[in-house]
Amino acid sequence: MRLPFYMVPNFFVFMEKLPVLAASSKIDRKALPNVDLDKDVVEAEALAQTETEIKLAKIWAEILQQKTLDIQESFFDLGGHSLMAARLLAKVTSEFGVDLTMRDLFSSPTVYAMARVLDGADRKSPDQNVDLDYEVNTHDIKDNVMDLHLRAFWRSTEYRNRFFRSTILLTGVTGYLGSHLLSRLLTSSQARIVCIVRESSCETVQSRVENTLKKHGLLTKNTKENLNERVRAVAADVALFQFGLSDEHYHFLTYDIDVVIHAAAYVNLIYPYHALHGINVLGTRNVLDFCHTNKVKPLHYISTDAVIPAGLKDVDEDFRVEHVKEKLQDGYGQSKYVAEQLVKLSQLRGLPSIIYRLGNQAASTTAGFWNDQDFTYLLLQSVIHTVSSILQNLKFIF
Protein backbone atom coordinates (compact mmCIF):
# COMPACT_ATOMS: atom_id res chain seq x y z
CA MET A 1 0.00 0.00 0.00
CA ARG A 2 1.36 3.44 -0.94
CA LEU A 3 1.23 6.13 1.73
CA PRO A 4 -0.36 9.48 0.86
CA PHE A 5 2.32 12.12 0.17
CA TYR A 6 1.40 14.05 3.33
CA MET A 7 2.29 11.04 5.49
CA VAL A 8 5.87 10.76 4.17
CA PRO A 9 8.34 12.50 6.57
CA ASN A 10 10.46 15.34 5.18
CA PHE A 11 13.49 14.05 7.08
CA PHE A 12 14.59 11.43 9.61
CA VAL A 13 16.43 11.96 12.90
CA PHE A 14 18.36 8.89 14.06
CA MET A 15 18.51 8.27 17.81
CA GLU A 16 19.86 5.42 19.92
CA LYS A 17 16.50 5.18 21.73
CA LEU A 18 13.27 7.11 22.00
CA PRO A 19 12.29 8.79 25.29
CA VAL A 20 9.08 7.28 26.69
CA LEU A 21 6.67 8.15 29.47
CA ALA A 22 7.02 5.78 32.46
CA ALA A 23 3.27 5.68 33.10
CA SER A 24 2.05 4.91 29.60
CA SER A 25 5.17 3.79 27.69
CA LYS A 26 4.21 6.28 24.98
CA ILE A 27 6.78 8.56 23.35
CA ASP A 28 7.62 11.55 25.51
CA ARG A 29 7.36 14.26 22.84
CA LYS A 30 8.59 16.98 25.16
CA ALA A 31 11.84 15.07 25.70
CA LEU A 32 12.61 14.82 21.96
CA PRO A 33 15.58 16.97 20.95
CA ASN A 34 14.98 20.22 19.15
CA VAL A 35 15.94 20.11 15.48
CA ASP A 36 17.54 23.08 13.74
CA LEU A 37 16.56 22.59 10.09
CA ASP A 38 19.51 24.66 8.86
CA LYS A 39 22.23 22.99 10.94
CA ASP A 40 20.97 19.53 11.85
CA VAL A 41 19.24 18.30 8.69
CA VAL A 42 21.09 17.15 5.59
CA GLU A 43 20.03 15.00 2.66
CA ALA A 44 20.80 11.29 2.83
CA GLU A 45 23.34 11.43 -0.02
CA ALA A 46 25.17 14.23 1.80
CA LEU A 47 25.95 11.98 4.77
CA ALA A 48 29.29 10.25 5.24
CA GLN A 49 29.30 6.73 3.78
CA THR A 50 32.79 5.22 3.89
CA GLU A 51 34.84 4.63 7.01
CA THR A 52 37.24 7.45 6.05
CA GLU A 53 34.36 9.86 5.41
CA ILE A 54 32.77 9.03 8.76
CA LYS A 55 36.02 9.63 10.70
CA LEU A 56 36.77 12.75 8.68
CA ALA A 57 33.25 14.17 9.08
CA LYS A 58 33.56 13.80 12.85
CA ILE A 59 36.80 15.84 12.83
CA TRP A 60 35.29 18.51 10.59
CA ALA A 61 32.16 18.77 12.73
CA GLU A 62 34.30 19.20 15.84
CA ILE A 63 36.47 21.93 14.29
CA LEU A 64 33.51 23.75 12.71
CA GLN A 65 31.34 23.21 15.81
CA GLN A 66 28.48 21.68 13.83
CA LYS A 67 26.43 18.60 14.69
CA THR A 68 26.08 17.41 11.11
CA LEU A 69 27.50 18.58 7.82
CA ASP A 70 27.19 17.97 4.11
CA ILE A 71 30.25 16.05 2.87
CA GLN A 72 29.96 17.94 -0.43
CA GLU A 73 30.11 21.40 1.22
CA SER A 74 33.35 23.38 1.10
CA PHE A 75 35.19 23.85 4.38
CA PHE A 76 35.29 27.60 3.75
CA ASP A 77 31.60 27.83 2.85
CA LEU A 78 30.85 26.14 6.17
CA GLY A 79 32.57 28.99 8.04
CA GLY A 80 36.13 27.69 8.11
CA HIS A 81 39.04 30.14 8.11
CA SER A 82 42.84 29.89 8.18
CA LEU A 83 43.11 29.28 11.94
CA MET A 84 40.43 26.56 11.79
CA ALA A 85 42.18 25.11 8.75
CA ALA A 86 45.46 24.77 10.68
CA ARG A 87 43.66 22.95 13.52
CA LEU A 88 41.82 20.74 11.02
CA LEU A 89 45.01 19.71 9.22
CA ALA A 90 46.75 18.96 12.54
CA LYS A 91 43.82 16.77 13.60
CA VAL A 92 43.78 14.93 10.27
CA THR A 93 47.54 14.33 10.47
CA SER A 94 47.19 12.96 14.00
CA GLU A 95 44.22 10.71 13.11
CA PHE A 96 45.32 9.40 9.71
CA GLY A 97 49.10 9.79 9.82
CA VAL A 98 49.07 11.67 6.49
CA ASP A 99 50.56 15.16 6.21
CA LEU A 100 48.16 17.37 4.28
CA THR A 101 49.04 20.97 3.45
CA MET A 102 46.92 24.09 3.09
CA ARG A 103 47.20 23.62 -0.66
CA ASP A 104 45.69 20.15 -0.32
CA LEU A 105 42.76 21.62 1.59
CA PHE A 106 42.09 24.16 -1.17
CA SER A 107 42.40 21.46 -3.81
CA SER A 108 40.08 19.14 -1.85
CA PRO A 109 37.93 21.42 0.30
CA THR A 110 35.11 18.93 1.08
CA VAL A 111 34.93 15.85 3.29
CA TYR A 112 34.21 13.77 0.20
CA ALA A 113 37.22 15.10 -1.73
CA MET A 114 39.59 14.92 1.24
CA ALA A 115 38.52 11.34 1.95
CA ARG A 116 39.48 10.41 -1.61
CA VAL A 117 42.89 12.01 -1.07
CA LEU A 118 43.40 10.12 2.18
CA ASP A 119 42.34 6.86 0.52
CA GLY A 120 44.94 7.50 -2.19
CA ALA A 121 42.44 7.79 -5.02
CA ASP A 122 42.75 11.46 -5.87
CA ARG A 123 45.96 13.06 -4.59
CA LYS A 124 46.48 16.25 -6.55
CA SER A 125 49.84 17.85 -7.12
CA PRO A 126 50.46 21.18 -5.39
CA ASP A 127 49.34 24.14 -7.48
CA GLN A 128 52.28 26.40 -6.64
CA ASN A 129 53.56 25.95 -10.21
CA VAL A 130 50.75 28.02 -11.72
CA ASP A 131 51.13 28.87 -15.40
CA LEU A 132 51.29 32.62 -14.84
CA ASP A 133 51.56 33.48 -18.55
CA TYR A 134 48.36 31.54 -19.17
CA GLU A 135 46.62 33.33 -16.28
CA VAL A 136 47.66 36.75 -17.63
CA ASN A 137 46.54 35.92 -21.15
CA THR A 138 43.22 34.49 -19.93
CA HIS A 139 42.27 37.55 -17.89
CA ASP A 140 43.66 40.23 -20.20
CA ILE A 141 40.73 42.36 -21.40
CA LYS A 142 42.56 42.98 -24.72
CA ASP A 143 40.80 46.31 -25.20
CA ASN A 144 42.58 49.34 -26.67
CA VAL A 145 41.61 52.76 -25.39
CA MET A 146 39.72 54.50 -28.18
CA ASP A 147 41.71 57.41 -29.62
CA LEU A 148 38.69 59.72 -29.26
CA HIS A 149 38.30 58.87 -25.57
CA LEU A 150 42.03 59.23 -24.96
CA ARG A 151 42.16 62.67 -26.60
CA ALA A 152 39.13 63.73 -24.56
CA PHE A 153 40.89 62.65 -21.37
CA TRP A 154 44.11 64.56 -22.04
CA ARG A 155 42.13 67.61 -23.08
CA SER A 156 40.34 67.55 -19.72
CA THR A 157 43.69 67.69 -17.90
CA GLU A 158 44.26 71.21 -19.25
CA TYR A 159 41.80 72.56 -16.68
CA ARG A 160 43.55 73.83 -13.56
CA ASN A 161 43.20 71.63 -10.44
CA ARG A 162 41.20 69.15 -12.54
CA PHE A 163 41.92 66.18 -10.28
CA PHE A 164 42.08 68.17 -7.03
CA ARG A 165 38.28 68.45 -7.24
CA SER A 166 37.62 65.19 -9.09
CA THR A 167 35.38 62.26 -8.23
CA ILE A 168 37.48 59.28 -7.16
CA LEU A 169 36.56 55.60 -6.98
CA LEU A 170 38.47 54.01 -4.11
CA THR A 171 38.58 50.25 -3.46
CA GLY A 172 39.91 48.52 -0.35
CA VAL A 173 38.85 51.34 1.95
CA THR A 174 38.06 48.98 4.85
CA GLY A 175 41.66 47.77 4.82
CA TYR A 176 44.60 49.34 6.61
CA LEU A 177 46.14 51.06 3.59
CA GLY A 178 42.79 51.99 2.05
CA SER A 179 41.61 53.77 5.19
CA HIS A 180 44.81 55.87 5.23
CA LEU A 181 44.36 56.72 1.56
CA LEU A 182 40.81 57.89 2.27
CA SER A 183 41.97 59.97 5.23
CA ARG A 184 44.67 61.66 3.15
CA LEU A 185 42.27 62.37 0.29
CA LEU A 186 39.84 64.01 2.70
CA THR A 187 42.52 66.25 4.21
CA SER A 188 44.60 67.12 1.14
CA SER A 189 42.03 67.50 -1.65
CA GLN A 190 38.49 68.59 -2.35
CA ALA A 191 37.66 65.37 -4.18
CA ARG A 192 34.43 63.46 -3.78
CA ILE A 193 35.12 59.80 -3.03
CA VAL A 194 33.00 56.79 -3.93
CA CYS A 195 34.05 53.75 -1.89
CA ILE A 196 33.36 50.20 -3.05
CA VAL A 197 32.54 48.26 0.14
CA ARG A 198 31.32 44.69 0.55
CA GLU A 199 28.07 44.31 2.46
CA SER A 200 28.00 43.02 6.03
CA SER A 201 25.08 41.53 7.92
CA CYS A 202 25.80 43.53 11.07
CA GLU A 203 26.52 47.05 9.79
CA THR A 204 25.88 49.33 6.82
CA VAL A 205 28.62 49.99 4.28
CA GLN A 206 28.79 53.64 5.36
CA SER A 207 29.28 52.66 9.01
CA ARG A 208 31.94 50.11 7.95
CA VAL A 209 33.95 52.96 6.43
CA GLU A 210 33.53 55.15 9.50
CA ASN A 211 34.37 52.32 11.93
CA THR A 212 37.53 51.47 9.97
CA LEU A 213 38.77 55.05 10.19
CA LYS A 214 37.99 55.06 13.92
CA LYS A 215 39.80 51.74 14.43
CA HIS A 216 42.98 53.14 12.87
CA GLY A 217 42.84 56.44 14.77
CA LEU A 218 41.94 58.47 11.68
CA LEU A 219 38.44 59.68 12.58
CA THR A 220 39.10 63.25 13.67
CA LYS A 221 36.34 65.86 13.91
CA ASN A 222 37.41 67.39 10.61
CA THR A 223 37.61 63.98 8.92
CA LYS A 224 34.12 63.04 10.12
CA GLU A 225 32.63 66.24 8.72
CA ASN A 226 34.32 65.62 5.36
CA LEU A 227 33.27 61.97 5.50
CA ASN A 228 29.60 62.91 5.73
CA GLU A 229 29.84 65.54 3.01
CA ARG A 230 32.19 64.03 0.44
CA VAL A 231 32.23 60.24 0.81
CA ARG A 232 29.62 57.84 -0.52
CA ALA A 233 29.94 54.13 0.26
CA VAL A 234 28.45 51.78 -2.33
CA ALA A 235 27.56 48.17 -1.48
CA ALA A 236 29.52 46.28 -4.15
CA ASP A 237 32.33 43.79 -4.71
CA VAL A 238 35.20 44.29 -7.17
CA ALA A 239 35.45 40.52 -7.70
CA LEU A 240 31.97 40.47 -9.28
CA PHE A 241 30.98 41.40 -12.83
CA GLN A 242 30.17 45.13 -12.88
CA PHE A 243 31.03 45.05 -9.15
CA GLY A 244 27.68 43.34 -8.57
CA LEU A 245 25.84 46.60 -9.33
CA SER A 246 22.76 47.08 -11.50
CA ASP A 247 23.36 48.13 -15.11
CA GLU A 248 22.01 51.60 -14.38
CA HIS A 249 24.17 52.20 -11.31
CA TYR A 250 27.31 50.79 -12.91
CA HIS A 251 27.01 52.88 -16.06
CA PHE A 252 26.25 55.99 -14.02
CA LEU A 253 29.55 55.48 -12.18
CA THR A 254 31.48 54.93 -15.43
CA TYR A 255 30.53 58.50 -16.39
CA ASP A 256 30.62 60.06 -12.90
CA ILE A 257 34.06 58.79 -11.80
CA ASP A 258 37.18 60.70 -12.91
CA VAL A 259 39.98 58.70 -11.25
CA VAL A 260 40.30 55.17 -9.84
CA ILE A 261 42.52 54.11 -6.93
CA HIS A 262 42.53 50.32 -6.67
CA ALA A 263 43.83 49.26 -3.25
CA ALA A 264 41.59 46.23 -2.63
CA ALA A 265 43.46 42.95 -2.20
CA TYR A 266 43.38 39.78 -0.16
CA VAL A 267 46.72 39.48 1.63
CA ASN A 268 47.58 35.98 2.83
CA LEU A 269 51.02 34.38 2.78
CA ILE A 270 49.69 30.82 3.23
CA TYR A 271 46.83 30.51 0.75
CA PRO A 272 47.60 29.25 -2.79
CA TYR A 273 46.98 31.22 -5.97
CA HIS A 274 43.45 30.02 -6.67
CA ALA A 275 42.28 30.97 -3.19
CA LEU A 276 43.36 34.59 -3.83
CA HIS A 277 42.42 34.69 -7.49
CA GLY A 278 38.95 36.19 -7.00
CA ILE A 279 39.66 39.60 -5.51
CA ASN A 280 43.33 39.97 -6.54
CA VAL A 281 43.08 38.94 -10.20
CA LEU A 282 39.40 39.12 -11.18
CA GLY A 283 39.01 42.25 -9.06
CA THR A 284 41.82 44.00 -10.94
CA ARG A 285 40.46 42.84 -14.28
CA ASN A 286 37.02 44.26 -13.41
CA VAL A 287 38.57 47.55 -12.31
CA LEU A 288 40.45 47.80 -15.62
CA ASP A 289 37.23 47.10 -17.48
CA PHE A 290 35.59 49.92 -15.50
CA CYS A 291 38.44 52.30 -16.38
CA HIS A 292 37.96 51.56 -20.09
CA THR A 293 34.15 51.79 -20.14
CA ASN A 294 32.68 55.02 -21.55
CA LYS A 295 35.12 57.81 -20.63
CA VAL A 296 38.76 57.01 -19.83
CA LYS A 297 39.55 56.98 -16.10
CA PRO A 298 43.25 56.96 -15.06
CA LEU A 299 44.17 54.18 -12.65
CA HIS A 300 46.40 54.23 -9.57
CA TYR A 301 47.07 50.55 -8.88
CA ILE A 302 48.47 49.42 -5.53
CA SER A 303 50.77 46.46 -6.16
CA THR A 304 53.32 44.92 -3.79
CA ASP A 305 57.00 44.10 -3.57
CA ALA A 306 55.84 40.47 -3.22
CA VAL A 307 55.83 40.29 -7.05
CA ILE A 308 59.63 40.20 -6.75
CA PRO A 309 60.87 36.74 -5.65
CA ALA A 310 62.70 36.68 -2.34
CA GLY A 311 66.49 36.57 -2.30
CA LEU A 312 67.15 38.63 -5.43
CA LYS A 313 69.78 41.38 -5.35
CA ASP A 314 70.25 44.65 -7.24
CA VAL A 315 66.54 45.02 -7.99
CA ASP A 316 65.28 48.47 -8.99
CA GLU A 317 61.91 49.70 -10.22
CA ASP A 318 62.81 48.88 -13.83
CA PHE A 319 63.69 45.27 -13.03
CA ARG A 320 61.80 42.87 -15.35
CA VAL A 321 59.92 40.59 -12.95
CA GLU A 322 58.63 38.67 -15.98
CA HIS A 323 62.07 37.03 -16.24
CA VAL A 324 61.94 35.55 -12.74
CA LYS A 325 58.22 34.89 -12.24
CA GLU A 326 58.82 31.13 -11.97
CA LYS A 327 60.58 31.75 -8.65
CA LEU A 328 57.38 33.09 -7.06
CA GLN A 329 56.30 30.39 -4.63
CA ASP A 330 53.41 31.87 -2.65
CA GLY A 331 49.89 32.43 -3.95
CA TYR A 332 49.82 36.08 -2.89
CA GLY A 333 52.88 37.01 -4.92
CA GLN A 334 51.61 35.01 -7.89
CA SER A 335 48.14 36.60 -7.86
CA LYS A 336 49.53 40.13 -7.53
CA TYR A 337 52.03 39.41 -10.31
CA VAL A 338 49.20 38.44 -12.67
CA ALA A 339 47.18 41.52 -11.66
CA GLU A 340 50.18 43.81 -12.20
CA GLN A 341 50.78 42.35 -15.66
CA LEU A 342 47.15 43.06 -16.58
CA VAL A 343 47.66 46.70 -15.63
CA LYS A 344 50.88 46.87 -17.65
CA LEU A 345 49.14 45.49 -20.74
CA SER A 346 46.42 48.12 -20.40
CA GLN A 347 49.16 50.76 -20.08
CA LEU A 348 50.64 49.63 -23.38
CA ARG A 349 47.22 50.02 -25.03
CA GLY A 350 46.83 53.59 -23.83
CA LEU A 351 45.22 53.53 -20.38
CA PRO A 352 46.80 56.27 -18.18
CA SER A 353 47.91 54.36 -15.11
CA ILE A 354 50.65 54.04 -12.53
CA ILE A 355 51.75 51.07 -10.41
CA TYR A 356 52.92 51.39 -6.79
CA ARG A 357 54.82 48.48 -5.25
CA LEU A 358 54.45 48.71 -1.49
CA GLY A 359 56.14 46.68 1.20
CA ASN A 360 55.01 46.32 4.82
CA GLN A 361 53.44 49.43 6.30
CA ALA A 362 54.35 50.40 9.85
CA ALA A 363 52.20 52.51 12.14
CA SER A 364 51.28 55.99 10.98
CA THR A 365 53.49 58.72 12.47
CA THR A 366 50.38 60.79 13.19
CA ALA A 367 47.74 58.25 14.23
CA GLY A 368 50.11 55.68 15.76
CA PHE A 369 47.95 52.63 14.98
CA TRP A 370 49.61 49.60 13.39
CA ASN A 371 47.84 47.09 11.16
CA ASP A 372 46.87 44.43 13.70
CA GLN A 373 47.00 41.73 10.99
CA ASP A 374 50.52 42.57 9.84
CA PHE A 375 53.05 39.75 10.21
CA THR A 376 55.86 41.99 11.46
CA TYR A 377 53.55 43.56 14.04
CA LEU A 378 52.40 40.15 15.28
CA LEU A 379 56.01 38.93 15.41
CA LEU A 380 57.09 41.92 17.50
CA GLN A 381 54.11 41.41 19.78
CA SER A 382 54.99 37.77 20.34
CA VAL A 383 58.62 38.69 21.12
CA ILE A 384 57.49 41.31 23.66
CA HIS A 385 55.08 38.87 25.33
CA THR A 386 57.74 36.15 25.42
CA VAL A 387 60.37 38.43 26.96
CA SER A 388 57.81 39.76 29.44
CA SER A 389 56.86 36.22 30.44
CA ILE A 390 60.53 35.25 30.92
CA LEU A 391 61.17 38.32 33.09
CA GLN A 392 58.12 37.56 35.20
CA ASN A 393 59.32 33.99 35.76
CA LEU A 394 62.81 35.18 36.70
CA LYS A 395 61.31 37.64 39.14
CA PHE A 396 59.27 34.82 40.70
CA ILE A 397 62.34 32.57 40.99
CA PHE A 398 64.62 35.18 42.55
Q: What is the tens place of the pLDDT at every residue in 279-297?
A: 999 999 999 999 999 899 9
Q: What is the tens place of the pLDDT at every residue in 73-110?
A: 888 878 888 788 889 999 999 889 888 888 788 878 88
**pLDDT confidence of residue 8:** 55
Give the side-chain half-sphere CA count within 13 A for 15.
12
Residue 128 has pLDDT above 70, yes or no: no
What's the CATH fold of domain 139-376? Answer: Rossmann fold (3.40.50)
Residue range(s) occupied by CATH 3.40.50.720 in the chain: 139-376
**Averaging pLDDT over each range in 19-28, 65-74, 114-123, 248-257, which range is the top one?**
248-257
Q: Residue 398: which pLDDT band, with cuts at 50, 70 and 90?
A: low
Find the Cα–Cα–Cα–Cα dihedral 98, 101, 107, 113, rounded to 10°. 30
Residue 4 has pLDDT above 60, yes or no: no
First-to-last CA distance in the chain? 85
pTM of the model: 0.75
DSSP notation for 79-141: T--HHHHHHHHHHHHHHH-----HHHHHHS-SHHHHHHHHTTS-PPPPTTS--HHHHHHHH--
**pLDDT confidence of residue 252:** 96
Q: What is the tens place of the pLDDT at every residue in 354-393?
A: 999 998 888 877 778 888 888 888 888 899 989 888 888 7
**pLDDT confidence of residue 238:** 94
**pLDDT confidence of residue 378:** 85
**pLDDT confidence of residue 229:** 93
What's the CATH fold of domain 39-118? Answer: 1.10.1200
How would you class 5 by CB atoms within 10 Å of its CB: exposed for 0-12, middle for 13-18, buried for 19 or more?
Answer: exposed
Q: What is the tens place of the pLDDT at every residue in 131-159?
A: 999 999 999 988 877 787 788 777 777 77
